[in-house]
Amino acid sequence: MENIKSLSSFDQEIFDLIEKETKRQEDEIELIASENYASPAVLEAMASSLNNKYSEGYPGKRYYGGNAIIDDVETLAIERLKKLFGAEHANVQALSGSPANAAVYMAFLEPGDKVLGLKLDHGGHLSHGHSVNFSGRLYNFVQYEVAENGVIDMEKVREVALKEKPKMIVAGFSAYSRDLDWKKFKEIADEVGAYTFADIAHIAGLIAGGCLSSPVPYFDVVSSTTHKTLRGPRGAFILCKEQFAKQIDRAIFPGMQGGPHDHITAAKAVAFKEALQPEFKIYCQQIIKNAKTMAEKFMELGYEIVSGGTDNHLMVIDLRNKNISGLEAEKALEKIGVSVSRSTIPNDPAPPMRPSGVRIGTPAITTRGFEEQEVLMATEFIDLALRNKDDEKVLSEIKEKIKELCSKFPIYKK
């Protein structure tokens, strides 16, 4: 390996692209609700020799030799995760959110079984039964919706559940800005004899930080990503009641996956340790303060927020009254160095590639240190850009100001 010691000496092209991307992240405002900046400690664990190991199986029961140290790593990750959420059982091998959900369905359902999930354009996720996704092709998903005011009406959920009698009810979403009544979901599920499955991919960090209510005490099974509000490596986990532990573990391996990504398991353990620190609670509180500040400012500026505000880290802006589509907004903001994701709004009249809204979230900017004052500045920049979306000169002036603001809040370049 003499001449492939370092990236910069062996592969200048990839090295330069990584440098460029790091600089882009430093210079621009990241408002994609599912993104965050992992700590140097998390990145270090990911870039370690643990990448090299094969460990099919679980601690103490591996199909390969040489796993004593990996067993300790995975056990630490599991113990920290159980502590973080007060869970009975944890599986930390899921490779990402969608595969974790596939394993959950596999553990509890047969193909063709009926599952109740939130409609995608109302804030659900592809893996909750969309027709183009494996979930929608393998299982019989029926959908509940948000009410006219953009909030989930639990009585309506109950009505659909009583009518459809699903085998499983899924709650937990990608573009829903309100806290959830987990207990009520569980009561409804009990009434119809359904399993309860919470997908907390977006909000896991906020639940861990004590800022949102947790489904863990009530639900049979809970899945999450580790790279969104939880601020860890790209990956996922599954929590469940002890009675379902075996079927969940078997669904992940050998059901769905081969060898776990041990370097990612180590990085997950680091992220869980970070989330167990008292500072993480403060971080979560600030994410929500920032989101509320932003939502209020947008409303003051005449923007419509779906459901009228936010309880968590994100909001969906309905841009119809501003005569700009979600796609146009996303493109205009890209020109000023602000990343957002276009998003459908409930009952969107526009097609999915050109939806009527954008989804905006505050986890990443909060990680780099933005507080209310910077959030207000960012919101004003966004409004100015959307009002001048075709004026390249104004847009490039805003881009410079954003770069200057960002330079005061370095991510990695301390």
Q: Is 110 annotated as a binding residue?
A: no
Q: Is 120 annotated as a binding residue?
A: yes
Q: Which is nearer to ligand PLP, 208 or 236 (CB)?
A: 236
Closest CB 267 distance from ligand PLP, rounded Å: 14
Closest CB 96 distance from ligand PLP, rounded Å: 3
54 part of the active site: yes
Q: Which is nearer to ligand PLP, 264 or 332 (CB)?
A: 264
196 part of the active site: no
In angstroms, the CA 329 to CA 376 distance is: 18
Nearest to 358, CA basis, from 315, 310, 297: 315
In angstroms, the CA 96 to CA 247 distance is: 19
Closest CB 152 distance from ligand PLP, rounded Å: 14
Closest CB 245 distance from ligand PLP, rounded Å: 22
268 binds ligand PLP (CB under 6 A): no
In angstroms, the CA 412 to CA 393 distance is: 30
56 part of the active site: yes
Ranges within 57-116 binding ligand PLP (CB under 6 A): 96-98, 101
Alpha-helical segments (H) within 236-277: 245-250, 262-276
Write each residue from 125 to 144 as x if it is in contact with ligand PLP (CB under 6 A), else as -, in one continuous string: x-x-----------------
Q: Is 242 annotated as a binding residue?
A: yes
172 binds ligand PLP (CB under 6 A): yes
Identify the H or E element spanning 218.
Answer: none
228 part of the active site: yes
7: which 2 tokens? 């990236």
Which one is catalytic: 53, 80, 158, 228?
A: 228
Ranges within 196-255 binding ligand PLP (CB under 6 A): 199, 201-202, 225, 236
Contact, 74 vs 253, CB < 8 A? no
Identify the H or E element spanning 409.
Answer: none
Which one is catalytic: 199, 220, 262, 274?
A: 199
Sign of the four-CA dihedral 342, 348, 350, 356: negative
Closest CB 9 distance from ligand PLP, rounded Å: 33
Nearest to 317, CA basis, from 332, 303, 329, 301: 303
Nearest to 294, CA basis, from 228, 364, 227: 364
Contact, 403 vs 337, CB < 8 A? yes
Q: Which residues pair with 221 in a beta bridge?
A: 197, 240
Contact, 215 vs 172, CB < 8 A? yes
229 part of the active site: no
Q: Which is nearer to ligand PLP, 98 or 343 (CB)?
A: 98
Q: Which is nearer to ligand PLP, 34 or 362 (CB)?
A: 34
Contact, 156 vs 211, CB < 8 A? no
62 part of the active site: no
Binding site, residues?
120, 124-126, 242
Binding site for ligand PLP (CB under 6 A): 34, 96-98, 101, 125, 127, 172-174, 199, 201-202, 225, 236
What is the set of active-site residues? 54, 56, 199, 225, 228, 234
